[in-house]
Every structure is written in C-alpha cells, then in structure tokens.
C-alpha cells in the first residue's frame, strides 16, 4: 500500500501566510504598550502606592529624631569672641607601681570612684613579704637584746654598790680596831709607869703589852679587809663599764635593724598601687596576670595599671586664634556650651593664657575654669566657649539660664500640609501628622510654642525633612 500520498505538505500556503499577517499587528501593539509602561514605571508605581495607602518613602529609608525638652541655645553676644575646645582634667594620673611585677589583684574598673590612698592594684609580693617578716623579727630580737643589756648594766651597778658598802663596813671596822689599839697602848704605858713606882705588879705590864700586840694584829687585818673591799669596788666598776658598753652596742644596732625593716616595708609598698587623690578611673590599662613596669617602653610589659582623673579639676582647653587674643584676658568671664548639652550654658572664667603660641596652627592655648562642675561632664567632651568682651551686649535679653525648657525639634522636621504646620510622629512603621505652633529657631533646632499639642510630647520620634509626598497614615522604612 503506498502511503506517500498521506504526507502533509508543510510548504507556505495562502492560509498560513494569512494567519502570520493577522498576528503581526497585535504583537507590535503589545510592544508599544510594554515600552510605555517601562518608561513611566516610576510615576505609575508612586500612584499605585498612593492608591494602596503606602508611603512613597517606603522604598527610600528616612531619618528620624527624638523630641527633647531643653532651653533653646542662646546666640553669642554681639562683640564677643567664640572658640572651640575640649573638657580636660587639670589633675590626671597614669598609675603604676614603683617596681616591675606581675599584677595579682586589680580593684578598679572604668568608672570606679576611688579615694586618696585606696588600693587600685597589687603586684606579686610573696618574697618581699617574707623579707619584711624576717626584718621585723630581727627588730624584735634587737629590742630584746637591748633590754637584756640594760638589765646587765643594772646588775653590775648593784654589785658596785654592794662592793662600796663593804668598803665602808671594812673601814669602820678598821677605825674601831685602831681606836682599841690606841687604848691598849695607853693602858700599857700607864702600867709601865705604875710598875716603876711600885703601884702595880709587873705582870700587869706584860698583860697590857700583849693586849697592844693583839690590837695591832686586828688593826692590820682590818686594814687588809678595807683594801680587799676597795679592790672589789674597782672590779664592780669595771663590770659596770663593760655592761654599759655592751648595752650601747646593742642599742646602736637597733636603728640599723629598724632601717632594714623599714626598707623591706617600703619595698613591699612599692608593689601596691594606691590612688594619689580622690577621683574616677577613666581607663584600665592592664589586667590581672600582666607584667607592669614603671620604665616600660614596649615589649611584654605595661607602663601603667590605670588612669584616673580628678573630676573636681575639670576645665576647658581652648585653642584661640592669635587674631582674637586681644579680646580675652585672665579672669574674664566666659560662657561655655557643651556639644552634648548645647542648650545649657555653663559659666566660668579664664584661668591661664599660655605664654607661647602654636606656630603651625596660629593659635594660643587657654584654660577655662568652670564655676560649677556638672556631674554629666566628661573629659574630652567637645565645648564652645564664648568670651564676652568689655563692650559686648547680649543679642537676647530674655534667653538665659532661667528660661523655661521647651520641646525642641529639628527645624527641618516642621512642614506645612495645607494650611497647617506640623510634624510627622513615627508610631511603629506608620506616621501621624500632628499640628504644632513653631517658635524661635537656633541653629538646626526649633522650639514648639505649644508643646502640649495633640499627641506631641517629649521622647516622640519625628521625621526629619519628610518628603512632600508623605501623608498622614503612610507606612515608612527607617534608615539605619
């Protein structure tokens, strides 16, 4: 069976060509429409989001600010000079031990309030503590030796007194015997005279002579006893001299021992870091286990343990242009505005003007003393100092430290919608338009004369520089 006749002819025919011509026109039309939609995609997207209640700012993140209560900054007085500076501490110390060592105790951290003499850190000191205990024991032993030597001196002097008493007793006995010897001689001589006259027998003379010889012997013995007692006194005096010399030697050694003890105690104290004045720790430079050295120039050791500042000595360091030097003088009153609290003026006066200028900067350094140190002040805070000249007059007589605080917003946050001025308050990711009455302007901030307006309060978040297309109830995306 021949099936070649059943093949389909796919060559171009009249009907196929007609179908191609019928699709060409719609294809061209669709291309034109697509090009138009692509060209006007931005306006159409904006219109589509507006119809759906979405914010035109949802694609582009916006900036917000917090409503704060404060005093609007005061403009510098006419005829005054202003300069920028920083808060610095007149008393600032980087604390370190007087000897190299490893930290075993650190009693402070950043923000710690310390009093003069309080412990800040302690270094390894076991060997020095042992040396101190040994030195203290030596001092105790030396004091005991002094007591013993003084007791020996007292005993030697007591023996000397006893020897002197024996000398006196022996001398008394010798004198008594000498009297008796003299009496015996007189008895013998009288007996001899009576024998010659026949008044007494010769035996009486012989007895008297024997008595004289007996007294002579006793007198010689007494005299020898006195001499022996005197020799004992001399020996006792020598003993006293030796005891006194020994006591003097022991007493002279005691200050040496005490000095060695004090040296050991001072060496131990060098391992303890104490606060040199009342202040606050602003920087912790080392940790427990690290080695510190007062002469550290690098390597593995630290130069200091911590840095502390006396907040009562805070002042403002100012770099004043040379061209403005004529408008300042020592003790002249100034007004200080901190960058962190720009609406609050602080008062002070010029303390010191440096005797030399900075050639590269063309400035002269000044130090400003503050009448009152605010607890919020911190070293290295930025400040602006206004020097009131002799002829200066304030631009505003009403603004000052006694002004009532107001709600302050960025000036660009206040916009007009229709016939009302107001701000956009951010609540979650939705915005709400609140009408306000704007007040005075200072720099980039503006006061609200009616701070208790509908829904406007301190702490609310407002949209900064809201786009013209932003409306009440729109949803927004907050930029980081």
**What is the DSSP annotation of 321-354?**
EGGGGGG--TT-EEEEEETTEEEEEEEEEEEEEE
10 Å Cβ neighbour count for 333?
A: 12
| pLDDT recorded at residue 116 | 94
Pairwise CA distance, residues 117 & 439, whole Å: 53
Q: What stretches in the chain show pLDDT beneath 70?
A: 1-61, 70-80, 196, 198-200, 296-301, 389-404, 442-443, 450-455, 478-480
Residues contacting residue 277 through CB under 8 Å, at least 6 positions apart: 91, 93, 116, 308, 310
Q: Are 63-70+403-464 and 127-269 equal in CATH topology?
A: no
Per-residue CA distances from 420 to 270, 416, 434, 437 (Å): 73, 6, 9, 9
Pairwise CA distance, residues 15 & 27, whole Å: 19
| pLDDT recorded at residue 34 | 65
Q: At what angle do helices 41-51 and 14-39 cross, to 10 degrees?
A: 70
Q: Token pair for residue 336?
A: 């200080």
Q: Tell me the domain boundaries of the chain.
A: 17-52, 63-70+403-464, 81-91+310-387, 95-121+273-307, 127-269
Write down the pTM of the prediction.
Answer: 0.51
| pLDDT recorded at residue 25 | 59
Q: Options 1.10.287.620, 3.40.50.970, 3.30.420.40, 3.40.50.720; which CATH number does 127-269 get?
A: 1.10.287.620
Domain 81-91+310-387, classified CATH 2.40.30.170, yes or no? yes
| pLDDT recorded at residue 40 | 53
The radius of gyration of the chain from alpha carbons, rounded to an integer in Å, stands at 56
SS3 276: coil
CATH fold label, 95-121+273-307: OB fold (Dihydrolipoamide Acetyltransferase, E2P) (2.40.50)
Q: What is the pLDDT of residues 71-115, one digit of tens each?
A: 665 444 544 578 889 999 999 999 988 888 899 999 999 989 999
10 Å Cβ neighbour count for 289?
A: 9
Per-residue CA distances from 341 to 64, 74, 346, 378, 457 (Å): 19, 12, 10, 12, 19
CATH fold label, 63-70+403-464: 2.40.420
């Amino acid at each position: 069976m021949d099936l070649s006749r059943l093949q389909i002819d796919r060559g171009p025919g009249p009907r196929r060509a007609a179908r191609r011509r019928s699709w060409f026109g719609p294809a061209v039309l669709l291309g034109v429409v697509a090009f138009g939609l692509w060209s006007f995609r931005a306006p159409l997207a904006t219109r589509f989001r507006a119809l759906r209640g979405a914010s035109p700012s949802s694609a582009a993140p916006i900036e917000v600010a917090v409503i704060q209560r404060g005093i609007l900054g005061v403009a510098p007085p006419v005829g005054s000079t202003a300069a920028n500076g920083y808060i610095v501490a007149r008393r600032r110390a980087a604390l370190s031990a007087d000897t190299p060592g490893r930290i075993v105790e650190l009693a402070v951290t950043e923000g710690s309030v310390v009093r003069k003499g309080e412990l800040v850190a302690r270094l390894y000191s076991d060997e020095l503590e042992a040396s101190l205990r040994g030195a203290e024991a030596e001092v105790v032993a030396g004091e005991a030796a002094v007591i013993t030597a003084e007791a020996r001196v007292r005993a030697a002097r007591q023996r000397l007194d006893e020897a002197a008493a024996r000398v006196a007793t022996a001398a008394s006995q010798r004198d008594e015997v000498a009297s008796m010897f003299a009496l015996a001689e007189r008895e013998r001589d009288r007996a001899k005279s009576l024998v010659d006259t026949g008044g007494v027998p010769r035996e009486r003379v012989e007895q008297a002579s024997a008595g004289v010889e007996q007294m002579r012997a006793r007198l010689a013995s007494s005299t020898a006893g006195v001499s022996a007692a005197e020799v004992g006194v001399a020996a006792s005096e020598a003993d006293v001299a030796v005891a006194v010399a020994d006591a003097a030697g022991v007493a002279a050694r005691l200050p040496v021992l005490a000095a060695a003890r004090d040296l050991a105690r001072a060496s131990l104290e060098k391992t303890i870091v104490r606060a040199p004045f009342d202040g606050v720790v602003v920087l912790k430079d080392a940790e427990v286990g690290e080695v510190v050295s007062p002469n550290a120039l690098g390597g593995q050791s630290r130069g200091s343990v911590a840095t502390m500042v006396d907040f009562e000595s805070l002042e403002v360091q100012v770099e004043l242009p040379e061209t403005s030097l004529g408008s300042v003088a020592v003790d002249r009153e100034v007004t200080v505005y901190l960058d962190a609290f720009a609406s609050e003026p602080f008062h002070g006066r010029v303390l010191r003007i440096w005797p030399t200028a900075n050639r590269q900067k063309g400035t002269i350094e000044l130090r400003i003393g503050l009448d009152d140190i605010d607890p919020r002040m911190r070293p290295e805070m930025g400040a602006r100092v206004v020097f009131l000249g002799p002829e200066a007059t304030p631009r505003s007589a009403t603004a000052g430290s006694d002004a009532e605080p107001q709600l302050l917003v960025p000036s660009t946050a206040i916009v007009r919608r229709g016939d009302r001025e107001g701000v956009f308050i951010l609540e979650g990711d939705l915005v709400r338009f609140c009408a306000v009455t704007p007040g005075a302007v200072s720099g980039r901030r503006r006061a609200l004369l009616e701070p208790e307006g509908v829904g406007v309060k301190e702490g609310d978040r407002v949209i900064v520089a809201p786009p013209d297309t932003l409306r009440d109830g729109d949803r927004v995306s907050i930029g980081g």
